[in-house]
Every structure is written in C-alpha cells, then in structure tokens.
Amino acid sequence: MNVRTHSQADVSAPAPERPEAQVWLTKAGQDVLFQKQAAALPFETAFDDGTAIHIDPAQRFQTMEGFGFALTGGSAYLIRRLPLAERQALLRELFLPDGEGIGVSYLRLTVGASDLSERSFSYNDLPPGEVDTELARFDLRAGDQDVIPLLKDILSVNPAIKLLASPWSAPPWMKTNRHWIGGKLRPEYYPVYAKYWVKYLQIMHAQGIPIQAITVQNEPLNPQNEPSMLMEADEQALFIADYLWPALRDAGLDKVEVFCWDHNCDRKDYPLTVLADPRARPFIAGVAWHLYAGDISALSDVHQAYPDKKTYFTEQWVGRRGEFANDLNWHVKYVLVGATRHWAQVVLEWNLASDPDCDPHTPGGGPDCKGALTLGQGIERNVAYYVIAHAAKFVRPGAVRLFSNAVDGLPNVAFASADGHRIVLIVLNDSADRRAFPIQYKGRRASAILEGGAVGTYLWPS
C-alpha cells in the first residue's frame, strides 16, 4: 500500500523576500509521491536561453474552475463504509488544499446509474409495458443511496465544491429499445425527459446540493456500455432548444449550465453541429470532452470556432493493468497539461474510488476501472490521485492560465492565482533521462532538474 508522503507545509505562507520556487515532486518509480522538496529553487538574474521554459504573465488565457474526479455510486458506497474517523480524515485530505489536503474543487455526478454502479437504475423505473408521463413514481433513492449523504459530508468540508451531473441513460420505458444498453430517447418522451431533469435538479437543490452544470448525455455515440443511450448531434440540439432549456427556464433553473457532447476528441463534428444550430447555441454553456479516441487539440479547434463557449474535460479512466510510470506520463502529458493548454477550464479524472477488484460495476460495465483510491484493507492512493493533486492543490478556482512556451520533451502549463500573488508551473519530463532546464520569469531564472518520467509543480510569488 502506498502512503501519503506530501508535506504538511502551508502553501499559502507569506512570500520570502528573495524570490524562490517551492517544488512538489512525483517520481515515476514511486519513491517520491507528491512530496514537497526541502530545497527551494532561487531565481537569479536571467540570460537568454532557448531551452528555458518562459512564463509571460502578460499573456492570459482561460480562467480555471476546478480539478477533480467522478463521484460514482460505487465510490460513494466504498467511502461511506470507512470507519467514521478515517472517512472524515480522507474527506479533509481530498477536499481541502491546506496541510496534507490535495484540494479537489470539482466533482462529476451521475444522474441515475453509471457503469460503476452496482446495478442499472433510473429514478423512474417501471414494470415492462408501463409508462409514467407525469413522473409520479420519480424516486431519487432508487439506487446509489450513499451519494447524497456523502455529498453532504463533502459540502460540510468544502462548501464551495462545484458539481456537474451527467446521465448514462434515460429510463428504459422512454427509449426506443426499452433496454438499459443502447437505444435512443423516443421523440414523444422528449418533454417528459426534460421534466425528469427538472425533478432531479430541484430535489438535489432541496437537499442542499446545488448542481452548477449538466451534460445532456454521457458518451452519446457509445451504445455498448451498461447503461448507455445514443443521441445524434441534431437530436441533442433539438432536445436542448425545444425541451430541456425551456423546462429549466420555466422551473427557475436557468443558472444551471448546459454542456453538449461529453465524448471523445475524434468527433469534433458533433459539438460543431450542435453549436451550429442557432436555436440551441444560446442555451449551451460549452463542450465537454473525453480522450479515449482522437487528439486533445480538438478542444482548441472547437474553442476557436466558438470562443465564447466553455471547455470542460470531464473523463479519463485508468485501467488496472496499467503501470504507474506510463499512466503518470500519459495523463499528465495529455490530460493535465494537454487539456489545459487547449482551453479546458475543468479537468476531471474518472472514478474516485474502487475496491481491489475494481468493483462495483454493472454486469455490462467496465470491470477494469481503477479508482484514484483503492479502498480495501486500507487506503491506497493511485496514479490519478497524484495527477490531480499536482494541479488541484495549487491551481485554485479563479486561477488564470498564462503563456508558457512549448519545450521539446518538457510538457508544461503555467497559471497565476486568482489574486495574482502566486505563479504555478507544472512540468513533466517526458523522457527516460534526467533533464536540467531553466525556468524564466520576469527577467529572472531558476535552474530545475527532473528525473526521467518525473512530474514537478513549481510555485513562487509573482
């Protein structure tokens, strides 16, 4: 079992008179796991160096909203079964940025079951052949009953946590195949499904759990998962424009942000089609993305076409058969650095917690999804935990991405804190060899070194 090794130092301590960068490090060999280094890096007088990472605070890009995970039904089930003191300590570690906390600031919820629930369910399940167009039998307690109590505990630790909700499927009686897997939403049930959304949001809000954003359908071109539901781009645009948004507006839920797509980077034509619909576009806050196919640059392509729309990166799994070093490299390079350099304002890894067998999951759901935490005989912190920790602890909501140049073999991204008092730079050494490199900022430079495959977060006063 790997244990926390990161320092309890307060990262918000007053800046020293002499500029120097604190360093937080994770090594590919796992001998150092998100640990503050004893030696800070002093900034000296700079000289021109083509190999340096240059940060320009005058060039500012997107404002960040958060980093985190999906709180699946399975995650909530496992965390709620920890002994009380251990559970409370874990929630403080996850959701506070101070001390040993990693400062998770954004969570993704599932509307009804995801494939990492114990079974498939919706909030309006009926016997075969029955319908309930008035949703009289809507029941938020139909499954994943640990989610709401755990969310209340999380909100007591961090009341500012933001929440996004995504459905895997409508109730089967609303679908063309009346089945959990695949099928489409029947057109005659578009208004009923919009009302279903309203009920979910209203009841969650009444429980003291405000949902800031929703995606219309998780992976709308994936008909194989359990649960799942197909939704073509023109269907999504129609549903948003004529049914979902009017229902939210009429219920006083117009502050809830609606995101389209929520699928892979190989089909940027889908969100472009949805956003090209002049009736739907005004009601869409942005586009949500995964990276199981395609190139992360698709986020920039769609952003350039619609720069007024937000960009969220909402899911990337870690498989149980992966190796820590390879997964650390890939997820930092393409998810943490890649998504943020391509305009993502939210970056979420997939499942927060699983057990040692990667359970629970539905019978047709993903059997190999390794959580950021493995909860069994103890608490094991896995690669996704460290990937998110390197950003979430220091890049707080309201931070702004700054220009940093691309340096071959050193994927990197830089931010300024919301108050402008701190700079944060995340760097990956994308090679097997030790690498020395300068960091240049405002006419000064600090000399940094990363072992092969290592990740460093550097923070200093602006």
The total number of structural domains in the chain stands at 2
| pLDDT at site 49 | 62
Identify whether residues 143 and 52 lie together within a single domain: no
Identify whether residues 293 and 381 lie together within a single domain: yes
Of 397, 423, 438, the position where a domain reaches its end is 397
Identify whether residues 432 and 358 lie together within a single domain: no
Q: Is 5 exposed, middle or buried (0-12, 13-18, 19+ CB in 10 A)?
A: middle
User: At a CB cut-off of 8 Å and minimum separation 6, what does 314 contact?
Assistant: 108, 164, 166, 215, 259, 262, 288, 289, 290, 346, 348
Identify whether residues 218 and 349 lie together within a single domain: yes
| pLDDT at site 51 | 82
Cβ pair 279, 243 in contact under 8 A: no
Residue 143 located in a structural domain: yes
Identify whether residues 215 and 268 lie together within a single domain: yes
| pLDDT at site 148 | 98
Residue 13 located in a structural domain: no
Identify whether residues 234 and 202 lie together within a single domain: yes
| pLDDT at site 351 | 97
Identify whether residues 205 and 254 lie together within a single domain: yes
| pLDDT at site 188 | 98
Distance (Å, whole) CA 288 – CA 285 = 10
Residue 226 is part of which domain span? 65-397
Identify whether residues 26 and 94 lie together within a single domain: no
Residue 4 located in a structural domain: no
Identify whether residues 446 and 314 lie together within a single domain: no
DSSP 57-94: EEEEEEEP-EEEEE--HHHHHHHHTS-HHHHHHHHHHH
Identify whether residues 281 and 143 lie together within a single domain: yes
Cβ pair 306, 341 in contact under 8 A: no
DSSP 126-144: --TT---TT-TT--TTSS-
Of 379, 397, 415, the position where a domain reaches its end is 397
Of 371, 397, 423, the position where a domain reaches its end is 397
Report the Cα 28 to chain-centroid distance in Å.
22
Residue 15 located in a structural domain: no
Cβ pair 102, 393 in contact under 8 A: yes
Closest CA to 459 of 121, 90, 36: 36
| pLDDT at site 45 | 82
Distance (Å, whole) CA 353 – CA 380 = 10
Q: Is 4 exposed, middle or buried (0-12, 13-18, 19+ CB in 10 A)?
A: middle
Length of the chain (residues): 462
For residue 269, report the phi and psi dihedrals to the nearest 5 degrees: -60, -30
Residues of the chain scoring pLDDT < 50? 1, 3, 5, 7-16
Give, to the nearest 10 degrees, the angle between helix 269-276 and helix 298-305.
20
Structure tokens at 100: 């040993």
| pLDDT at site 95 | 98
Report the Cα 124 to chain-centroid distance in Å.
28
User: At a CB cut-off of 8 Å and minimum separation 6, what does 265 contact?
Assistant: 289, 290, 291, 293, 294, 295, 296, 297, 298, 299
Residue 331 located in a structural domain: yes
Distance (Å, whole) CA 47 – CA 414 = 20
What is the CATH number for 422?
Answer: 2.60.40.1180
Identify whether residues 237 and 371 lie together within a single domain: yes
Closest CA to 460 of 417, 429, 418: 417
Residue 333 located in a structural domain: yes
What is the CATH number for 304?
Answer: 3.20.20.80
Identify whether residues 179 and 317 lie together within a single domain: yes
Distance (Å, whole) CA 401 – CA 345 = 9
